[in-house]
């Protein structure tokens, strides 16, 4: 438990640049303009899932029942339900289970993360921590769980 925390905080420390912002090892880019996404330190909880995502773009919460359950709660809390429907099949906003997407990259968890974190030009604002307000928003770990819930309603895992 303790050592896991140390490993993750060491990893985050290694990723924090002079500006105090965290950069992923993989390049994460905004769906709006393709510019790189950097994260405030507060966007992280220090989990293994974050570490894996920043290194590889894979979401280890997909298929994990406990994480999916938490993701469903967050999906409701952040009002995704109102626009995308209770099982992400679409309502005012588009369905999120694929395989067709407005943004083809949403077939991958990396792409879907980028779309939700920083928003789109076609009608959805970014939900990521620090995007809407300096001290509010979905954290990286929460968003990975939300995506795991979205994937649980469809056939693709996003980790293909
Ligand atoms: C106020 C309504 C609204 C809310 C709340 C909302 N969305 Fe959206 N979302 C939209 C609309 C409209 C689009 C289509 C935007 C576009 O095509 O550019 C969209 C697009 C998306 C896409 C891209 C789908 C595609 O076809 O590529 C994803 C993924 C997504 N939303 C996930 C979420 C998640 C997860 C949440 C909650 C954290 C959320 N949205 C909250 C309205 C909303």
Q: Which atom of ligand 1 is least distant from the CA of 105?
A: 27
Measuring from each residue's beta carbon to the nearest atom of ligand 1, which residues come in under 6 Å?
78-80, 82-84, 92-94, 96, 101-103, 106, 112, 115-116, 120, 122-124, 127, 138, 146
Q: What is the pLDDT of residue 24?
A: 73
More confident residue, 12 or 75: 75
- Indicate the pLDDT class of residue 71, thresholds 50, 70 and 90: very high
Q: Which atom of ligand 1 is nearest to the CA of 74?
A: 38
Residue 4 pLDDT exceeds 90: no
For residue 10, how far is its CA from the centre of ligand 1 (angstroms)?
34
For residue 101, the model assigns a pLDDT of 97
Ligand 1 pocket test, pick from 83, 103, 114, 138 with the greatest ligand atom count within 8 Å of Cβ, gives 83
CA of 36 to the centre of ligand 1 (A): 20
pLDDT tens for 19-37 read 556 767 899 999 999 999 9
What is the best residue among 84, 121, 152 to mutate for testing ligand 1's pocket, by most ligand atoms within 8 Å of CB?
84
H and E: helices and strands count for the chain:
6, 2
Q: 1 pLDDT band (50/70/90 cuts)? A: very low
């Amino acid at each position: 438990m303790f050592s896991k925390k140390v490993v993750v905080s060491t990893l985050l420390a290694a990723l924090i640049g002079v500006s105090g912002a965290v950069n992923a090892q993989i390049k994460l880019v905004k769906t709006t303009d393709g510019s790189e996404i950097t994260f405030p330190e507060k966007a992280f909880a220090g989990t293994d899932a974050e570490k894996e995502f920043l290194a590889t773009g894979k979401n280890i919460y997909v298929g994990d029942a406990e994480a999916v359950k938490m993701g469903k709660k967050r999906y409701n809390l952040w009002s995704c339900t109102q626009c995308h429907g209770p099982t992400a099949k679409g309502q005012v906003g588009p369905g999120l289970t694929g395989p067709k997407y407005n943004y083809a990259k949403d077939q991958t968890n990396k792409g879907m993360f980028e779309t939700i974190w920083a928003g789109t030009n076609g009608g959805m604002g970014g939900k990521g921590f620090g995007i809407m307000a300096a001290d509010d928003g979905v954290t990286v770990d929460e968003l990975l769980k939300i995506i795991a819930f979205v994937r649980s309603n469809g056939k693709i895992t996003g980790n293909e």
